[in-house]
Structure 1
Amino acid sequence: MERRVFGVETEFGITHRGVAVDGAPRPGLAPDETARYLFRPVVEWGRSSNVFIPNGSRLYLDVGSHPEYATAECSDIEELIAADRAGERIMDDLARRAEEAMAADGIDGTIYLLKNNVDSQGNSYGSHENYLIPRTTHFRRLSTVLLPFLVTRQILCGAGHLVTEQEEAGRELGPHYAFSQRADHMWEGVSSATTRARPIINTRDEPHADASAHRRLHVIVGDSNMSETTQLLRYGTTDLVLRMIESGVPLGDYELQNPIRAIREISHDLTGTATVLTRDGEEMTAVDIQAGLLDRARRFVSEEGAHHGHLEQVLQLWERTLQAVASGDHSNIDTEIDWAIKKRLIDEVAARGSLALDDPRLGQIDMAYHDIRPERGLHHVLVRKGRAATLLGQEQIDQAVLLPPATTRAALRGHFLSTARAFGAGHSVDWVHHKLVDRPLEAIMLKDPFETAAERVETLLDTLGDRRAVVRELSAEERLDQPVPPALSERYLVTGGTVPPPPVI
């Protein structure tokens, strides 16, 4: 099967809480001021709040002072999940450093970074997926099949959301639990806009690759996931559906009359029995649509073979999740699927304290589940207690913090960036372009996402001087057996030293 390149962009919620004085809470800094503290080391390091870092990823402040981390290009789902988790580690490191800087300025308090999609005021921020697809893929067929899949995918990989009375929007359901945080904030099925219209599929044609061969599918409907197994299902199912579309496999007619109404109705019906109308007037549930696609995916894999080692795990978890929704018994997935993991926790706390769903303490649990700080975030607590499954070892995340994926051009980007910094040379990189400031006419474009070695990159870097001499000055551990270490004395973005040890679990 054809190779795939994936990436995910994650926007984080940010808030600062002041230290309570005489029992009275002191207001924290505003989000924009907090974000400036957060990104102060980034600006010092890269002279910008929008930088590429040695692991090949991009770190920047997005609209609304949302810290954002975009993974490097990955060619494997497990690699993608590791790169995303590395982003959490780097963001948490920045938050700890910002707290220290604030304290030095006489501002005591705590920064909270949340990997979720909605704040207490109802504002939404995203988790955007990117899939490199062939230019020859017929876009009408792509959107016709993919939209129903994405509208109903929330029952598989939604983050879960405790809906308050204020968010009810006339549904008359009262406070309740929904599959998705993002569903209520989508306004179009397909559009070139991102913030104004918030479409499920964004059509802006920006492939960051050879445009004659590729286009970038930009999916902005997904919930941010804390669970690695939920991420596996999210990216694994989407990749499979895309492969079937690209192969011309008949997938049935699930085109919806009103995708935006459907995504909302499905999100707010945890029983999975809400029906939506297809273009032909047929009533179907989200489980019906997903089950039909799962059945076709199993036949496709049987005929074409597996293309990654976790494929059977994806198919089995896909099936078990549909069974759990259809039966109402979530016990078979409540350590693997975000919305079910969090719902179990909220239900237990509510039962233990006889709390109504509108009790603000449950709302705090909903938020705290997404706190990325390992010793504090509730998902991390559940992992340590064996109540939330993992996929990766800590060493994989450690490596993803430091090193770019080895199977995509991100390896060249990290190599170029680290080498230029080692020599103190002015440089500029983005997804495609690589330039030394004093040699602008020799800028290099890497349009092939799978290019991992390029003589023209080495030739340009050779103009900086004897790289072997730079390497000899470093210890064997720092060299990591690489021609040039991933970030030399600045092992990753801001530490100025070694990466901090992983948290004790």
Structure 2
Amino acid sequence: MERRVFGVETEFGLAHHGQGRRGLAPDEAARYLFRPVIDWGRSSNVFIPNGSRLYLDVGSHPEYATAECDDLLDLIASDRAGELIMHDLGQRAEAAMGADGLPGSVYLLKNNIDSQGNSYGSHENYLIPRTTHFRRLSTVLLPFLVTRQIIAGAGRIVPATEDAPAHYAFSQRADHMWEGISSATTRSRPIINTRDEPHADASVHRRLHVIVGDSNMSETTQLVRFGATDLVLRMIEAGQPLGDHELENPISAIRHISHDLSGRATVRTRDGKRVTAVDVQAALLEKARRFVARHGAHHDRVEQVLDLWGRAVEAVATGDHSLIDREIDWAIKKRLIDEVAARSGLDLGAPRLDQIDFAYHDIHPERGLFHLLVRRGRAERLLDDARLRRAITDPPATTRAVVRGRFLSAARAHGVGHTVDWVHHKLVDRPLEAVMVKDPFVTEDPRIETLLARLGGELLELNPAEREAQSVPLALSERYVRTQPAAPPEPPLV
């Protein structure tokens, strides 16, 4: 099967809790957070040597967009590297605030909704063939994305209203979607964004921009989220008949499904049938299994994706969440909340449980509850720490991100002004020699080598320590790790 490039953009929640005084407003905290970024790149919107992009988005949300990847584990590693980078920036901001007489704690949350009900996103990008019929793609893909929350949602406690008590829902983003398909991103959030910016040869590729996804803490949840979506796209591109699941009202359906953990909530299709999320996901899963059996696995994690996809559907259908409560975010977090509620005699509307809901998404490796669950063996991992440390500085080796990373590192090593984006590579003093790299699958480009070689002498091959010194952050080096204070004893599981 053809290779695919994909990436994910993650917006982080940011808060500062002051000691003995009110914490800083998000925009002030964001300025502290991005001081090292601006010092490093003279901008709050930079590409970094691992090929990824780091920037402040609308509403002072720090955002990290992974490098383009053609391997699921590379994608997950690149995304997790973003967490480590943000955490280091948070630690630096906390220290700088303290030095300015503003002691307190900086919190960075990889979630999608704050305590005031504001939502921020986790957007997926899939490079698809220009020949893909977009109407057919959206007809099949929308029902899949509307129901995908039962296999990849982050879960949340929904506060009580006049009409309903507090309850647990599959998704954080479902209640904040307003259109099925649209060119908007913030004014009226669609499930699929139609803005066509392939960052590649537009005659060959187009970009599918999916806005509906929840941010995931769990690597195994990410695997099924991206892996199942990739399989559905491949079936659509191959012309595989996938049945008619087109929904009459996708926005009503996504909300209705999110708020019913039994999986029995029915929604209406355009032809008048009533279906559940389990019906749609089970049908597409069976098609995917047959597709893989006929065409073969296109990567070595396909069977793991199918297995986890199947167990998640079964868990919802049967109510036996233990099938996935170490691997799927909504189930991992629900198990923890249920245990604390039962032990303490709390209703779901209790403030303490809201705190647990938010603390699950705290990216701080010692403080965050998801990370504590991992250390306790109650949540699975796919990647080891060494691979995550490499992903902070090293771009994926099988896409053009490696060209971008090499250009950035070499230009900085020579001390020359430069600009890059997903496609363009330019030295400030040689604007007419800018190089466009449109093919996302190339891993070297003689034009880049020639351009940099003209700076004088041979290109510098940076050793790991030098690459570390050019990265954002400057964390996780051996020096940094050795000089950290000993970790305090772990608190009891809340």
TM-score range, shorter chain: over 0.9
Q: What residue number does 2:463 align with?
A: 479
Secondary structure of 2:322's aligned partner:
coil
1:65 aligned to which of 60, 73, 81: 60
Q: What residue number does 1:267 align with?
A: 258
Q: What residue number does 1:308 align with?
A: 299
1:116 aligned to which of 111, 116, 124: 111
Q: What residue number does 2:394 align with?
A: 403
Asked if the contact 1:17–1:110 (Cα under 8 Å) also holds between the matched residues in 2, the reply is: yes
Asked if the contact 2:37–2:43 (Cα under 8 Å) also holds between the matched residues in 1, the reply is: yes
Q: What residue number does 1:15 align with?
A: 15
Deviation at residue 496 of structure 1 after TM alignment: 8.4
Note if 1:299 corresponds to 2:278: no
1:393 aligned to which of 384, 391, 394: 384
Note if 1:133 corresponds to 2:128: yes
Secondary structure of 2:469's aligned partner:
coil
2:50 aligned to which of 48, 55, 61: 55
CA distance in 1, matches of 2:467, 2:149: 42
CA distance in 2, matches of 1:365, 1:419: 45
Secondary structure of 2:278's aligned partner:
helix
Deviation at residue 492 of structure 1 after TM alignment: 1.3
2:149 aligned to which of 145, 149, 154: 154
1:434 aligned to which of 406, 418, 425: 425
Secondary structure of 2:124's aligned partner:
strand
CA distance in 1, matches of 2:40, 2:471: 11
Correspondences of 1:322-337 after superposition (within 5 Å): 322-337=313-328
CA distance in 1, matches of 2:68, 2:14: 26
Secondary structure of 2:127's aligned partner:
strand
Deviation at residue 327 of structure 1 after TM alignment: 0.8
Note if 1:3 corresponds to 2:3: yes
In the alignment, structure 2 segments of 5+ residues that lack a partner are none
CA distance in 1, matches of 2:63, 2:274: 39
Letter aligned with residue 292 of structure 2: V
Deviation at residue 497 of structure 1 after TM alignment: 9.0
Asked if the contact 1:154–1:179 (Cα under 8 Å) also holds between the matched residues in 2, the reply is: yes
Q: What residue number does 1:319 align with?
A: 310
Asked if the contact 1:491–1:498 (Cα under 8 Å) also holds between the matched residues in 2, the reply is: no
Deviation at residue 491 of structure 1 after TM alignment: 4.0
Q: What residue number does 1:463 align with?
A: 454
1:246 aligned to which of 237, 240, 254: 237
Correspondences of 1:141-220 after superposition (within 5 Å): 141-165=136-160, 168=161, 172-220=163-211
Q: What residue number does 1:342 align with?
A: 333
Q: What residue number does 1:475 align with?
A: none
CA distance in 2, matches of 1:77, 1:438: 38
Asked if the contact 2:409–2:470 (Cα under 8 Å) also holds between the matched residues in 1, the reply is: no
Could you say if the C-alpha distance between residues 381 and 494 of structure 1 is closer, same or farther in structure 2, counting changes exceeding 3 Å? Answer: closer
Letter aligned with residue 105 of structure 1: D
Deviation at residue 465 of structure 1 after TM alignment: 1.2
Could you say if the C-alpha distance between residues 273 and 488 of structure 1 is closer, same or farther in structure 2, counting changes exceeding 3 Å? Answer: closer
Note if 1:38 corresponds to 2:33: yes
2:353 aligned to which of 346, 352, 362: 362
Q: What residue number does 2:469 align with?
A: 490
Secondary structure of 1:390's aligned partner:
coil
Letter aligned with residue 190 of structure 1: I
CA distance in 2, matches of 1:281, 1:157: 27
TM-score between both structures, scaled by the size of structure 2 = 0.96
Deviation at residue 99 of structure 1 after TM alignment: 0.7
Deviation at residue 395 of structure 1 after TM alignment: 1.0
CA distance in 1, matches of 2:119, 2:448: 40
Q: RMSD of aligned C-alpha atoms?
A: 1.5
CA distance in 2, matches of 1:366, 1:101: 28
Deviation at residue 404 of structure 1 after TM alignment: 0.3
CA distance in 1, matches of 2:424, 2:431: 11
CA distance in 1, matches of 2:416, 2:435: 16
Note if 1:444 corresponds to 2:435: yes
Secondary structure of 1:451's aligned partner:
coil
Give me the identity figure in percent.
71
Note if 1:383 corresponds to 2:377: no
Could you say if the C-alpha distance between residues 479 and 193 of structure 1 is closer, same or farther in structure 2, counting changes exceeding 3 Å? Answer: same
Asked if the contact 1:45–1:494 (Cα under 8 Å) also holds between the matched residues in 2, the reply is: no
Could you say if the C-alpha distance between residues 414 and 290 of structure 1 is closer, same or farther in structure 2, counting changes exceeding 3 Å? Answer: same
Secondary structure of 2:17's aligned partner:
strand
CA distance in 2, matches of 1:366, 1:226: 12
Could you say if the C-alpha distance between residues 77 and 501 of structure 1 is closer, same or farther in structure 2, counting changes exceeding 3 Å? Answer: farther
Secondary structure of 1:133's aligned partner:
strand
CA distance in 1, matches of 2:281, 2:425: 43
- Residues 247-269 of structure 1 deviation map (CA, whole Å, 9 limit, x = unaligned): 00000000000000000000000
Letter aligned with residue 10 of structure 1: T
Could you say if the C-alpha distance between residues 458 and 192 of structure 1 is closer, same or farther in structure 2, counting changes exceeding 3 Å? Answer: same
Q: What residue number does 1:90 align with?
A: 85
Note if 1:102 corresponds to 2:81: no
CA distance in 2, matches of 1:161, 1:191: 26
CA distance in 2, matches of 1:442, 1:494: 30
Letter aligned with residue 289 of structure 1: V
Letter aligned with residue 307 of structure 1: H
